[in-house]
Structure formats: C-alpha cells, structure tokens
Structure 1
Amino acid sequence: MAYLAPSEFVTKMVDAGEAKIFMSTRDTLIRAFMAGAILALAAAFAVTINVQTGQPLAGAILFPVGFCILYLLGFDLLTGVMTLCPLALIDKRPGVTLRGVLRNWWLVFVGNFAGAFTVALMMAVIFTFGFETAPGKVGEAIGHIGESRTLGYASHGAGGMLTLFLRGVLCNWMVSTGVVGAMMSTTVSGKVIAMWMPIMLFFYMGFEHSVVNMFLFPSGLMLGGNFSLYDYLIWNEIPTVLGNLVGGVAFVGLALYSTHLRTAPKRVA
C-alpha cells in the first residue's frame, strides 16, 4: 500500500474540492445521480443480508462495497463534497466563492436524491411484483426502519432531535474519513482498505447518512411504512443533512487542514 504523508493527501483534498466547485452542471448531476444510485443498491444489499442472516454485523461488513465502487468510479456523495469544497474556499483558491460551494452542494443533493429515489422505486416494484402483492421480509424491514428512525426520534422530543443530529455528525465524521482514506494511497487495494474501515463502523453503529436515507425512507413510504413525508423530512433528512455537514467540516476537513496544511508555528526550545 503506497502511503502518502498527511500534508500530501490534505493538499489533494483541497485540490479535489476546488475541482468539484468548477465542474460543469451536467457532470456534477451525472456523478451525483450515479453515486446515490450505487449507495442505495448497497443499502438494499445490506438490509437483505441483515434480514436473511439475522446478523447486522454481516450487513455492516459488506455494505462498504457500494461506497468503494462509487468512489473508484469518480462519483460524488453529498457527504463528501460537504467536507472537501469548503477547504478550497478556506484556502482562498482563485475564483472559489461561497456561492460556488453552495451551488455544488445543491446540485449534488439533487443528483444523489434522484439516484437514490430511482433505486428505491425499482426495489419497491421488485419487492411487491409491481405493487400487486405485499412486500416480503426485506421490504417489511425497510418499512420498519423508516418508522423507528422518524417516529422513534419524534417520541423523545428535543432529546430525539439532538440524538438524530449527533448521529448525523458521527456518521459523516466516519464517512468523510473514508473519503480521505482513499486519498492516502495510490493503489486500488490501499484505497479500498482505507475506505472500508470507517464506512463499516458508521453502518454498524446505526449513524444517520443523508444519502442512504434518501433510499431507505422513500422506499419505506412506498412499501407501507407507518410514517409520513413530513416525518421523514423533519425527523430525519433535514437534521441528518445538518449533522453530516458539521461532522464532515469540523471533525475531518478543518481538523486535517489546520494541523497538516496550516500548521501552527513550532515551539521554541
């Protein structure tokens, strides 16, 4: 595994953020759509494993395959650009503006949602044979995930909202660590290993990922989950996006940038 020093891969993070900000609208949407779709398939894969084996760890161990595929293909998740793009602004790269960062985030959000929703619709059709039969065990499980992770939080009021937000923070702390991990190595095997570990951790711990939820919750609504679109948006998606933003920017992007690229002066002996 060819390993890059922290100062080298943090520079790559800033370069990547700058490149994504200046990417064309067409390419940004295509890459975001494909990322959302592939991650949604990985989520369906992991839930299927959990249901069939009864072992959540098995699903968590295998879920990162989707993240590795989409990253190696050069596709973009909202959680990743949340971490990378602000670094180009902080580094004062020429032409980078706050408007450009927000434009990228919005386009990636739209693309991720479109991709995840497309797979959600396809899987709902598969689970119900074209909405003609009741969903099987996997479809029922997805519906119950939607209930527990919306109404379950709502039942605890402010404490539930805080828990949801913090799960979003911790999620993107790990997911963005996976994004950075891929930049630590110049070999495919090294990238995969570095990505696999934090992604497995976030999934097994039940942290909240905004793009995974773009698949799970629309799927749950289509498969008869006992929650509403309002519940999904207010008691999951919006707080999760905000938590993902804080986790990626504060605990990954700024932390690495400040200590490896803009280091403080050395102490005098």
Structure 2
Amino acid sequence: MEKRMLKPAEICDEIIDVYEHKANYPILKSMILGILAGAFIALGGFAAAVSSHSIDNYGLSKLVSGAVFPVGLIMVLIAGADLFTGNILLTVPFTEGKIKLKMLLKNWTIIYLSNFIGALLVALLLYNAGALDGNSYKIGGYALKVAITKASISPMKALFSGILCNFLVCLAVWLSLAAKDIIGKVFAIWFPIMAFIVGGFEHSVANMYYFSIGFLAKNNVDYANSLHITQEKLDHINLQDVIFNNMIPVTIGNIIGGGILIGIGFWIAFKYTAKPKSINVERSSM
C-alpha cells in the first residue's frame, strides 16, 4: 500500500530537492510566483482582519483570526507560489552543497521584492474597491490600528517575534511536504500558522500588506474616526518606523527562525548526523 506521508528523514531529502529546483527557476518564473504568493498572503490577512476586527474578547479575536489567516499559506503551498518566508529554507540545499550562496541570495532578493509587489497590488485593489468601508469604516480603522501597532514596537521585540513567527511558518512548510494528499497538507499547514497568528508574531510578507493598506487607509479620515485614532498615533505610520522598527529586524528574525533553527536544525539532525564519519585509529606498534 502506498505511503500516506514521508518519514522525517525523507522530508529533509524532499526539502533539499524542492528548494534546489526553486533556486534554479528563471527570473520571470520566480517573479510571477513571488507576486502571486504576496497576493495570497495579503488576501489571507484581509480575510482574517474582517472576521476578527469587531470581536472584543482578546483570546477569541486571536482564535478567529488564526483560524482564517492560514488560507493564505495554503494557497501558496498547494498552488506552488514562492513566499520569502518559505524560501528561507533554501538554507537546507545550501548547507547540503546543492546550491551556491549567490543563488540563495538572488532568489531571496527576487522573491522578497516580488512578494511586496503582490501584497501592494492587493492592498491597492482592496482600498479602491471600498473593502475597508465595511462595518461603518471600522475595517479601515482596524487596518490603521494594526499598522500603528506594528510600526511602534521596538526593533528587538520585532527581531525575536520574527524568529518565533518563521520558526512556525517553516515548520508548517516542512510538515506540508510530509503529506501526499491535499487534506493532509491543509492540516499540516493550518495548525502551526494558527499558532503563529494567535501568538501575534511578526511575518515580513504579511507586514508588507499590513503596512501597505495602513499607508493607504491613512488618507481617509473616516477610517481613523471610526476607532477614534488620533493624529499622533497615525504619525507612527511612516517609512522610518516601518522599515527600522519592523521590516528589517522582522526579516532578519524570519531568516534566523526558519533558515537556521528549522532548516539547518533539521539538516543537522537528519543529514549531517547520518553522514559516515572517518575515524583515524592510531595503532600502537606491537
């Protein structure tokens, strides 16, 4: 009978194969898949915000948001799009010696920028479609609230939150490759991503959307007024705070959490320790 899932060591081999191929994609293919992935994550973020924005109970609001947001990564992984936080796992074929550092950095750069384009496009579409006007403009007010909160955290908190986030995201990617059917992949993705959303951790690509929609929503006074957001708080949505308080430390944290702790961690456990070691034995003269 055919196996329904891969064994842990087989997942590592699959990761090496899949991400070695991704590193060798033509630039146009990587860009298209990156734009689509950014769009999928943005749509997941928007859907999660709409479903949870009016829930006053903190824990319940996080649970509902966490139950909805994973649809973004499900679309990314099953459709075959390329997400920066997932492609952090290129550290595995790199450590295995299958790809060069130049290829890894090139792919990360292309996918990161392409993800931003996809997230920005969705933000523009949602804003101009009036999608933030719902519930008496409170959806737009919530978008501002999220962007303000994220831009206001300290770089150190952003770094550690980014580590925790991509530890779970790359674990979801890793587990999804173990499953051989769609239902198995959905469940493998769903729960780690739910945990990251419930925990409130920082995801660089999701933040590309949250900040893009925040900058757009900042232009409509109805959104700010719906949640009584002051101009002082709105001023936190600026490029300096967004880039230096959040995006840079979160991106570094995402690389550490997914690329090192998950990717290289599992590689050491399942590949490095399995490699035969040469042992030099000194023979004493008889």
| TM-score, structure 2 normalization | 0.84
Matched residue, 2:96: 91
Supply the AA of the counterpart residue of 2:20.
E
Tell me by how many angstroms 1:265 deviates. 7.7
1:43-62 to structure 2, matched below 5 A, reads 43-54=45-56, 55-62=61-68
SS at 2:256's partner residue?
helix
User: CA-to-partner distance for each residue in 1:132-176, whole Å, 9 max, x for gaps?
Assistant: xxx81011111111111112x2xxxxxx22111000000000000
Supply the AA of the counterpart residue of 2:262.
V
Matched residue, 1:177: 171
Matched residue, 1:127: 130
Equivalenced residue count is 253
SS at 2:130's partner residue?
helix
Structure 2 vs 1, CA of residues 144 and 12 (structure 1 numbering), >3 Å: closer, same or farther?
same
Tell me by how many angstroms 1:110 deviates. 1.1
Supply the AA of the counterpart residue of 1:103.
K
Aligned mates of 1:173, 1:181 — CA distance in 2: 12
Aligned mates of 2:172, 2:265 — CA distance in 1: 15
Q: Which runs of 5+ in 1 are unaligned?
A: 154-159
Aligned mates of 1:51, 1:183 — CA distance in 2: 33
Q: Rg larger in 1 or in 2?
A: 2
1:246-261 to structure 2, matched below 5 A, reads 246-261=256-271
Q: Which runs of 5+ in 2 are unaligned?
A: 219-233, 277-286
Matched residue, 1:244: 254
SS at 1:149's partner residue?
helix
Structure 2 vs 1, CA of residues 77 and 259 (structure 1 numbering), >3 Å: closer, same or farther?
same
The yes-or-no answer on 1:69 pairing with 2:105 is no
Q: Is the 8 A contact 2:38 2:117 kept in 1?
A: yes
User: CA-to-partner distance for each residue in 1:54-103, whole Å, 9 max, x for gaps?
Assistant: 422111112111211121000011001112x121121112xx21111100
User: CA-to-partner distance for each residue in 1:191-218, whole Å, 9 max, x for gaps?
Assistant: 1111111000001111000000000011
Q: State which drifts further: 244-253 or 51-60.
A: 51-60
SS at 1:136's partner residue?
helix
Q: State which drifts further: 198-207 or 45-54.
A: 45-54
Aligned mates of 1:5, 1:197 — CA distance in 2: 19
The yes-or-no answer on 1:217 pairing with 2:211 is yes
Supply the AA of the counterpart residue of 1:124.
Y
Aligned mates of 1:175, 1:27 — CA distance in 2: 23
1:12-51 to structure 2, matched below 5 A, reads 12-51=14-53
| TM-score, structure 1 normalization | 0.89
Tell me by how many angstroms 1:252 deviates. 0.6
Aligned mates of 2:119, 2:150 — CA distance in 1: 18
Structure 2 vs 1, CA of residues 86 and 116 (structure 1 numbering), >3 Å: closer, same or farther?
same
Matched residue, 2:148: 147
Tell me by how many angstroms 1:126 deviates. 2.7
Runs of 4+ in 1 over 3 A off after TM superposition: none
Tell me by how many angstroms 1:230 deviates. 1.4
Q: Is the 8 A contact 1:128 1:136 kept in 2?
A: no
Tell me by how many angstroms 1:19 deviates. 0.4
The structure 2 residue matched to 1:262, chosen from 266, 272, 280, is 272
User: CA-to-partner distance for each residue in 1:112-139, whole Å, 9 max, x for gaps?
Assistant: 000000011111223378x9xxx81011
Matched residue, 2:121: 118
Percent identity over the alignment? 29
- RMSD of aligned alpha carbons: 1.9
Structure 2 vs 1, CA of residues 121 and 183 (structure 1 numbering), >3 Å: closer, same or farther?
same
Supply the AA of the counterpart residue of 1:89.
F
Aligned mates of 2:39, 2:129 — CA distance in 1: 16
